[in-house]
Amino acid sequence: MFDYAMKSKPGDRPYNEDRMQMCDLGGEQLFALADGLGGMKNGELASSIAIRSVIGRFRWDRAPGFLEHAMETAQNAVFYGQEKYPGASGMSTTLALLHLRGKTVRWAHIGDTRIYMFRKNKLLYQTEDHSVPQMLVKQGEITAAQIRHHPDRNRLIRTLGQQWSGQGYAVSRPVEIEAGDAFLLCSDGFWEEIEEQEMARRLRRSGNVARWLEQMTEIAEENGRTVNMDNYSAICVRILTN
């Protein structure tokens, strides 16, 4: 048993290029969130294509290796869209996937849409961005905390719609879930405005995922008042029993 909540808003932008969807097929669930890039609504097109392609794949292919297959399917779909739609040659998108199957969970991502896992109301794991600032963290030039305000924080080195050298996306091993485990998928417009310690603090104080998401959104919106706030989207999932 699980509970979830989702929210997506345009922020201060004229339109929302984020897309997200949840698909429940009984014993398995897929949560997907994409943040499109390209401007002039091409980002919206790229993220929509990516979400539709992975949900479509999920409906008929849930064999081991599904996440890898879904990422490759989404990449091919965005490439096809670049060729099919006028002016869309430069579009691309991030993508984050969370796959619940029985008592295990796996996730995959590309770009800077993040996945967080909390256990016992503490941060257990977070994905690493495919971005210039994340690369600088690995090189020891900045700290992870400095990514949020780095001038190059929006420069991505890998997305769907770009040619990859090798496997462009990251995918996790299966993880055994426990009752109380919580997951947050969110675009950069969301996580840039709320720190991980506050995510965990709000999780401890909330009685359900809807309230957790509501409290985090309030903080993100308050912190975003002084900036031209980006589109922001989040999916919260909590395991009730395992």
> pLDDT value at position 134?
96
> pLDDT value at position 87?
87
pLDDT category at 242 given cuts 50, 70, 90 is low
| Burial group, residue 95, by CB count within 10 angstroms (0-12, 13-18, 19+) | buried
- DSSP code string of 165-226: SS--SEEPPPEE--TT-EEEEE-HHHHTTS-HHHHHHHHHH-SSHHHHHHHHHHHHHHHGGG
Tell me the pLDDT tens digit for each residue of 6-32.
999 999 999 899 999 999 998 899 999
pLDDT category at 40 given cuts 50, 70, 90 is low
Which candidate, 41, 52, 32, 51, places its Cα nearest to that of 10?
Answer: 41
Which candidate, 24, 23, 71, places its Cα nearest to that of 50?
Answer: 71
Tell me the pLDDT tens digit for each residue of 79-123.
999 999 988 998 999 999 999 999 999 999 999 999 999 999 999
